[in-house]
A and B are shown apart, each in its own frame.
Chain A
Amino acid sequence: MRNLVVLLLLVLVVSCKNKEVDKKEVVSETVAEVATDQSNDIEEGKALIPFYNYEELEAKYLQPKNDTTYVVNFWATWCKPCIKELPAFEKLNADYANKKVKVVLVSLDFPDRVVKQVVPFIEKRNLNSEVVLLDDPDANSWIPKVNENWSGAIPATIITTKDKKTFYERSFTFEELETELKTIL
């Protein structure tokens, strides 16, 4: 009986502690300026990272015909929970590089922000995973193609081989991500 009480009190303490930690992990979202006609910045951005429309992205990474497992993460530099989970994807990319696993970080930043925001972010964080930009404004048509249940909130992740595909509208720790990857491999 004494053990039970201790256990319950422990649960109480742990559940409070988790919340404290959550509250402390506050990162400010950066404000992107409203997209206007900044065609020079867009052209310059295209020279720095690949720009794909949904069809191109799907053909390249979401319907693999080879033996590679693709871990495709939808993110943006302004998305706080996305940035928080990026190290997990970077570690997965490094740890599983020799197991034919490839992480692709699909940025949903506005195309005219690539030069000023996305590329500096990649350099500052020293990201090694491939970063591409999904440049396809008609989200209503492609969101259900990514997954029928996706609300459109990011972060979101797909893990896919040529035989299997799983979709997650959630954030990951490295351990959680690795667990999901292992169910596919």
Chain B
Amino acid sequence: MKTKHFVLLAFMAVVGVVTLNSFTVPEPADNGYTIGDEATDFKLKNVDGKMVSLADYSEAKGFIVIFTCNTCPYAVASEDRIIALDKKFKSKGYPVIAINPNDPNVQPDDTFELMQQKAKDKGFTFPYLYDANDKIYAAYGAKKTPHVYLLKKESGKNVVKYIGAIDDNVRNGAAVKDTFLANAVNELLQGKEVSVKETRAIGCSIKV
């Protein structure tokens, strides 16, 4: 009888450990999307307090999903370019959706309140979503901020068409020679295949 209790207790302890870990440890980001994969939709809280999903945008042809944050110097250096991208491409069917993946318990500069402040100060024209509870970044495979995923709607699915950087010079927008992301969106708008599908840039590791 005693043994039975111990077995039960041991089993519960194992379940406890497994359950605890599955809820607190994020999925490894190694298995993110590659070009051609279907990207998951999400329901995340925007800085205006409303929940935002890709499915809300019935008119959109696709999305410029950008994982970014409040204070990473590479994210800060990209802010004006992200606003310009939204202004240029939202009306053409490709709105920017910005997602902050950082956990404010680890990175105190990325609380929801400071996100609201950032969006207000910079005049963000796009949703800026809080991801610390949902870990959408891990499903996408984002490893740093900023990290861009360009999605195109194809028969009801959001298909990944481009992954990487906004352009070839994060730290100085004036010295950009190649606008990778804008080129990719323009190619999709022209019904072409994206020619440069993946690029890389230095960024801040995601803080979770």
Interface residues of chain A, those whose CB is within 8 Å of chain B, are 1-2, 4-5, 8-9, 11-12, 15-16, 19, 22-23, 26, 28-29, 31-32, 34-35, 37, 76, 78-81, 108, 110, 137-141, 143-144, 150-155, 169
B205 contacts A139, CB within 8 Å?
no
- Pick from B6, B73, B171, B204: contact of A5, CB below 8 A: B6
A32–B72 Cα distance when bound, in Å, is 8
Report A137 CB to chain B, min CB distance, Å. Answer: 4
- Pick from A2, A11, A137, A152: contact of B200, CB below 8 A: A152
Q: Is the interface of B mostly helix, strand, loop or mixed?
A: mixed
Interface residues of chain B, those whose CB is within 8 Å of chain A, are 3, 6-7, 9-10, 13-14, 16-17, 20-21, 24, 71-73, 76-77, 105-109, 143-144, 147, 164-165, 168-172, 174-175, 177, 180, 199-207
A29 contacts B202, CB within 8 Å?
no
A11–B13 Cα distance when bound, in Å, is 9
A139 contacts B107, CB within 8 Å?
no
5 A-B pairs with least C-beta separation: A8-B13, A32-B73, A153-B144, A151-B143, A143-B200
Instruction: List the B side residues contacting A80 at CB < 8 Å.
Output: 107, 207
A81–B208 Cα distance when bound, in Å, is 11
Report B184 CB to chain A, min CB distance, Å. Answer: 13
- Pick from A12, A19, A152: contact of B201, CB below 8 A: A152
